[in-house]
Structure 1
Amino acid sequence: MEVIKTDIEGVVIIEPSIFKDSRGYFFESYSKREFDKKVRPINFVQDNESCSTRGVMRGLHFQRPPFTQSKLVRCVKGAVLDVAVDIRKGSPTFGRYVAVELTEDNHRQFFVPRGFAHGFAVLSDLAVFQYKCDNYYHPEADGGISIQDLSLGIDWHIAPSQAILSEKDLRHPLLKDFDTPFDYNIDLYAE
């Protein structure tokens, strides 16, 4: 696997080594040994999958401490624009984001560290999206930033009139109105 660094430290894109022949293809989608060595030591404990149609936007989600999560995400069918926004108070990249297109053809994965809000927009007719999480989901720790926050400057590749959002996601605050529970100077991975 190749790890591609982004403009925000810790947020990386992963390109697997794909082996193709007349039968199709094969690739190793995850190896704890390789991930721990090339990205960071981590223990994923939960896998999630969602299926969405064109125009669906999910996010920007996170889990509050002490249940904060890292995510390793990929699109196994279709295409999405996936985004991680730095919401760590005091971070030199606070409010900045990394966006990457994840598709069934490019097989890319995206690592979203703790202290980041995560969301995606479905660009294909249908998208099946998978998440590996390093902490279990706790509904009481659920949080979010508005995916429609124009101050973030994210081009979601979907017209606002075409966006399909949940009622919950429509209620998330703008970044400027949000009191972040994450501090850049506190190690979110310390046990």
Structure 2
Amino acid sequence: MELTRCDWVNTDPVYIAYHDEEWGKPLTDDLKLFELLMLEGMQAGLSWYTVLKKREGFREAFDGFDPEKIVLYGEDKVEELMQNVGIVRNRLKIKGVITNAQVYQQICREEEGGFAGYLWSFVGGTPVVNHWKNRAEVPATTPQSDQMSKALKRKGMKFIGSTICYAFMQASGMVDDHALDCFCRSTPAVIES
């Protein structure tokens, strides 16, 4: 029997595995959330599929997205990254990751609950479960993603617009936007006639 998935999933086994095993599953690890948020920022103007296919290249290039290492990157490292065909070679995005690693450290020092606690506070610490009937109903932004974006921008983060924040919230399980008939949905579908 064929499993029913969200209609944005293509036939690539990597994409199917990402949907089935990661997307929408609540993620509370500081470092994994940092990586995901940085990858979402790299997606700006591109498709998530493009970034997902390069994820291992990003991990290798950015030292496993270890903020302690990234904050030490200088111009030589930026130039090295600009030559790396395994990642998205955009100077502003690369420099944004370095800046964002500094902000990550600040948030971990200053916010109760660390990075995860801070980000999850925008949804009250519990996943928001939506009931969209089809992909056309899913918004690009929400009041919560607007608030997250504004707060992170005030702290100095880059490539963190509301659309990026909402995609991040969906991917990290802060929001469950799996289709009503998707087998990954966290609650049983309630389909109104």
- TM (norm. structure 1) is 0.26
- TM (norm. structure 2) is 0.25
Instruction: Name the one with the larger strand percent.
Output: 1
Instruction: Name the one with the larger helix percent.
Output: 2
